[in-house]
A = this chain, B = another copy of it.
Amino acid sequence: MTALPSLMPPIEYEDATPQVRAVYDDIRATRKTDFINNFWKVLAHDPAMLARTWEKLKAVMAEGALDPLTKELIYVAVSATNGCEYCTYSHTAAARAKGASDAMLMEALAVAAAANETNRLANALRPQVDAAFLPRAGGG
């Protein structure tokens, strides 16, 4: 496969500073794999951004009120909306690794696609927000 080269070259583990290696090590431990994907290797040009971004992702994608698979499907839906090539490949793979079936992926995309359609109809026709949709005083 030939493709345009990355705008910042990936930094491999053996070429990384101790600060970067610590993040790589935590990615490996958290994900239970030796594999570090290229996204992190290019972010490593700014070790503070690498650490911050990884810490944020680890917290955001963890089990919480929503399960990790639901979160991956939201990630895929947003990445498709933004047209990010790398992200659609990496997060579709992550969703599959977390148990997404073809049917689940196709349904998530159908929702994302439908939202993109009706978002534009609403943006163009500018219906007034119905009073029933407004949050009540004192709560969301």
Take A86-B127, A124-B112 as given contacts and tell me if A73 and B75 are in contact as well, using a CB distance cutoff of 8 Å.
no
Binary interface encoding of chain A residues 83-117 relative to chain B, with 1 for a CB under 8 A from any of its CBs, else 0: 11111111111001000011111111111111111
Chain B neighbourhood of A128, CB < 8 A: 3, 5-6, 10, 38
B75 near A126: Cβ-Cβ < 8 Å: no
Please list 8 pairs of residues, one from A and one from B, whose beta carbons are closer than 8 Å in the complex, sorted by A's number: A1-B3, A6-B135, A7-B140, A9-B138, A82-B119, A82-B123, A102-B140, A113-B118
Give the interface size bracket for A toward B. 35 or more
Q: Does A32 contact B (CB under 8 A)?
A: no
A57 contacts chain B at the CB level, 8 A cutoff: yes
Chain B proximity of A82: nearest CB distance (Å): 5
With A74-B77, A103-B46, A116-B82 in contact, is A132–B4 under 8 Å at CB?
A: no
Q: Tell me whether A118 and B59 are in contact (CB under 8 A).
A: no
Question: Does A29 count as interface, using CB distance less than 8 angstroms?
Answer: no
Contacting residues, chain B, for A42 (C-beta < 8 A)? 125, 127
